[in-house]
Structure 1
Amino acid sequence: MLGFSDKDKIGTIQPHNDALVVTLRIGRYDVKRMLVDQGSAVKVIYPNLYKGLNLKSEDLSANDSPLVSFEGKTVILKGQIRLPIQTSLDMVEVDFIVVNAYSPYTAIVTKPWLHALGAVSSILHQKVKYSSEGQVKKIVGNQTMARQCMVAAISHQPSAEPSASIGKGF
């Protein structure tokens, strides 16, 4: 059974309000600063990872679905790409949208990834657990990295990004 107990808190800084930020393997690369967002369904790759994986525009398929940011702006999508995420010996193919927007994270993995892996996550315990080959496997979050991402997000001074406001202001 997949679950969490107080033992799973050992090695974490408690109490905390940290996001669950992990390192996952995409292709041949260990990718740091990946946010596990269990409340979303949109899997996103940001420009730094897109460039770091040496992806090209011809690697993308079209995706014209609108994406609205927290600020109420429509984010321009560069396209969509399917990439393999490897955890231990397990591989899950994930359809990411590629956006040209700032984020302290390299990517966001969400509910569809967790469901495909058969995983459960706990922000409190800073872990993702899943069953594989009769064993419970763990992906451990990095609280230091999560805190660095939060500071970077707070410190970021937005520039004129290619997006358009939607709706009416208050």
Structure 2
Amino acid sequence: MSISRSPAKEYSSMPKRAQMDIPLVLGFSDEDKVETIQPHDDTLVVTLRIGGYDVKRVMIDQGSAADIMYPDLYKGLNLKPENLAAYSSPLMSFEGRMVVPKGLIRLPVQTSTDVVEVDLIVVDIFSLYTTIMGRPWLHTLRAVSSTLH
């Protein structure tokens, strides 16, 4: 994986982004495909630093219009109902059922040197993942995920 820097522009409607002297751009090369079985188009699952903790089983989903937190992470971070802001818009689960969120919480999410404040919608349903990071987070980072690598 190669890392380079490029200029970034701040937008007031985006989540707050920590100021960095040199913005980070993340890239992949053929070397990053070593030891993967091709064709490789599995779900992209990573470890991210969320709320100051290394969080495993984070799904990166370019198709999701929301950033989601599931019960395992909510409990693991020792969050309480009073930590949540109200969020009343229902969501659709993977099974096609309507899900009413428990609330919304803003937490720092770190990738390398970038720290972005993310509004995570907390839902109380089972998932193999702890979190889904979707388009809002990817857009703020100016990132594109690669299932190939």
* Same topology, TM > 0.5: yes
Separation (CA, whole Å) in 2 of partners of 1:97 and 1:80: 5
Which of the residues 102, 122, 129 maps onto 2:146?
122
Separation (CA, whole Å) in 1 of partners of 2:58 and 2:91: 19
Helix, strand or coil at the partner of 1:120: coil
Check conservation: 2:40, 2:147, Cα contact below 8 A. no
Going from structure 1 to structure 2, the CA distance change for 1:52 and 1:3 (only over 3 Å counts) comes to closer
| Matched residue, 1:67 | 91
| Matched residue, 1:167 | none
Identical aligned residues as a percent: 67
Letter in 2 for 1:70: F
2:33 paired with 1:14: no
* Offset at residue 115 of structure 1 (A): 1.5
Helix, strand or coil at the partner of 2:144: strand
| Matched residue, 1:78 | 102
Higher helix share: 1
Which of the residues 115, 122, 125 maps onto 1:98?
122
Alignment deviations for residues 12-39 of structure 1 (CA, whole Å, 9 cap, x no partner):
2322341100000012210000000011
Q: Number of matched residues?
A: 125
Separation (CA, whole Å) in 2 of partners of 1:86 and 1:72: 31
Where does structure 1 lack aligned partners over 5 or more consecutive residues? Answer: 126-170
Q: Select the structure of larger CA radius of gyration.
A: 1
Alignment deviations for residues 69-123 of structure 1 (CA, whole Å, 9 cap, x no partner):
2333111210001110011221001111000100000000011111111222101
Going from structure 1 to structure 2, the CA distance change for 1:72 and 1:61 (only over 3 Å counts) comes to same
* Offset at residue 7 of structure 1 (A): 3.2
Where does structure 2 lack aligned partners over 5 or more consecutive residues? Answer: 5-25
Alignment deviations for residues 42-70 of structure 1 (CA, whole Å, 9 cap, x no partner):
11100010000010100000011011223
* Offset at residue 10 of structure 1 (A): 2.0
Separation (CA, whole Å) in 2 of partners of 1:70 and 1:103: 10
Which of the residues 66, 71, 76 maps onto 1:42?
66
Separation (CA, whole Å) in 1 of partners of 2:45 and 2:123: 19
Which of the residues 86, 102, 108 maps onto 2:132?
108
* Offset at residue 6 of structure 1 (A): 2.9
| Matched residue, 2:79 | 55
Letter in 2 for 1:48: D
Which of the residues 106, 112, 133 maps onto 1:88?
112
